[in-house]
Amino acid sequence: MWRFATVEVVEPPSALPTCAPPPAGLDLAITQAGPEENEENGLRAVAVPPMGNSFTTAQGASGRDLTPDGLKKCDCFAVGNYTKMRKLGSGAFSTVYLARYNPKSAIVDDVGVCRAIKVIQKEILTPEDKEGLHSEIAILLELKSPLVMALYEVYESPTAYQMVTELIEGGELFERIVEKEKYTEKEARDVVRNMVEAVGYLHKHGVVHRDLKPENILLESSTDDSTIKIADFGFAKHVMEASSACGTPGFVAPEILKGQKYGLGVDVWSLGVIVYITLCGYPPFYDENQAQLFAKIKAGRYSFHKKYWEHISEPAKGFIRAMLTVDPGVVGAGASDKPKASRRWTCAELLEHEWLEAEIGHIDLGHSLKHLRDAHATNDLLFEANHAATGPHANPDEHDDYHNHVEGRPVK
């Protein structure tokens, strides 16, 4: 059940128009149109305050316009709720369009707001795919956080599903980093804190993402280098429902590879891999042979190679050790009674780690920039299957400490 997603980007984020953001705290609900409101299909969109973990819907005038899980039974472009502007990208299962929102109620003060609409053709979906899609939709409608990509509404026509999300114009995190002329540990630390807070929000709501990787960490805008949003909840589950093996090789947690029961800690492990790459520019686990790669992950064999890590602070290394510890500590969503020194930390514990609180001087991460740019030049910035070796992985014989593995060492 491993997924290797490829998306053809039609236009870079910088080419998108500047669109006004939706009003703060805006959620969309569907209510029945009144007798004097001649709205198409008897539906109108209204602004409502945040509803926590609930999603408010009501049937349209026909009584058949919404499915039980809140999907609107119509085509959002055909009924005029959105105007399709252009294609943003496409993949094996979907196409994403830039669209302008056309609210039909004067109550909604966001006329002309741009959104992204992901169109998924039904004919290519298996029953399992449809079940997964409905699960993804239900989870996204539960989550109300500025650190998570917002799903506003979902339409279902006879041929396709249409997921209306906020337009995130900042692009992928690593794409932004390679554009920088200089990059420091403090800048990286600020982004990492936001990533941990975002994943911690999911965990507080009992949701495990299960596929955290660089392409799913997006920046909110083209002018903000640290405010991120978590995207792509295709593998997300409520933690008590998560049991299948899934994820992306290189980022997947050891307990998943071992076929063990797992919990929220799998996200912490994946986040640890992302943090490691953020600080040095290459992944902690690499092997051209996938079986060998998985063996390294299951054993927690990684190193802080002196040439690339000696200038990075010890608290930063300790932070990574706290995430890349093989023992997850707990299965499910409960708390662990094991000492932190012997198991993986939770997001709540990581937010209290000394690295996120310490004063950090000007620690240059020029090596990280170089390796990320090298990966970008070979179209390997996602660090997915068969990516080119970078950093010490490219020339292991040149590094005396290449095989000095941490072996899932406890946190100092």
For residue 391, the model assigns a pLDDT of: 59
Instruction: Express as a percent the part of the chain with pLDDT over 90.
Output: 45
- For residues 318 and 207, membership in a common domain is answered with yes
Residue with tokens 């298996």: 126
CATH number of the domain that 207 lies in? 1.10.510.10
- Per DSSP, 18 falls in state P
136, 166, 196 - which closes a domain: 166
The catalytic site residues sit at 211
User: How large is the C-alpha radius of gyration of the chain?
Assistant: 22
The predicted-structure confidence for 103-146, as pLDDT tens digits, reads as follows 775 555 565 789 999 999 999 999 989 988 999 999 999 999 99
Q: For residue 61, what are its two tokens? A: 């005038």
Note whether residue 5 is domain-resident. no
- Per DSSP, 247 falls in state S
CATH number of the domain that 130 lies in? 3.30.200.20
138, 166, 194 - which closes a domain: 166
End-to-end CA distance of the chain: 36
Residues 6+ away with beta carbon under 8 Å from 358: 313, 315
Q: How far is Cα 156 from Cα 346, in angstroms, rounded to an integer?
A: 38
Give pTM, 2 decimals: 0.77
Average pLDDT, the chain: 77
Domain that holds residue 203: 173-398
Q: Compute the average pLDDT of residues 227-239.
A: 90
The predicted-structure confidence for 284-327, as pLDDT tens digits, reads as follows 998 888 999 999 999 999 999 888 899 999 999 999 999 999 99
Cβ atoms of residues 137 and 69 within 8 Å:
yes
Higher pLDDT, 263 or 391: 263
Q: How far is Cα 171 from Cα 236, in angstroms, rounded to an integer?
A: 21
Note whether residue 67 is domain-resident. yes
For residue 267, the model assigns a pLDDT of: 96
- For residues 293 and 262, membership in a common domain is answered with yes
For residue 248, the model assigns a pLDDT of: 87
User: What are the backbone angles phi and psi of residue 97, rounded to the nearest 5°?
Assistant: -120, 150
166, 197, 212 - which closes a domain: 166
DSSP 89-100: EE-SSEEEEEEE
- For residues 162 and 239, membership in a common domain is answered with no
For residue 8, the model assigns a pLDDT of: 33
Number of domains in the chain: 2
- For residues 108 and 238, membership in a common domain is answered with no
- Per DSSP, 163 falls in state E
Lowest mean pLDDT among 20-34, 243-257, 301-315: 20-34
Q: For residue 38, what are its two tokens? A: 């001649």
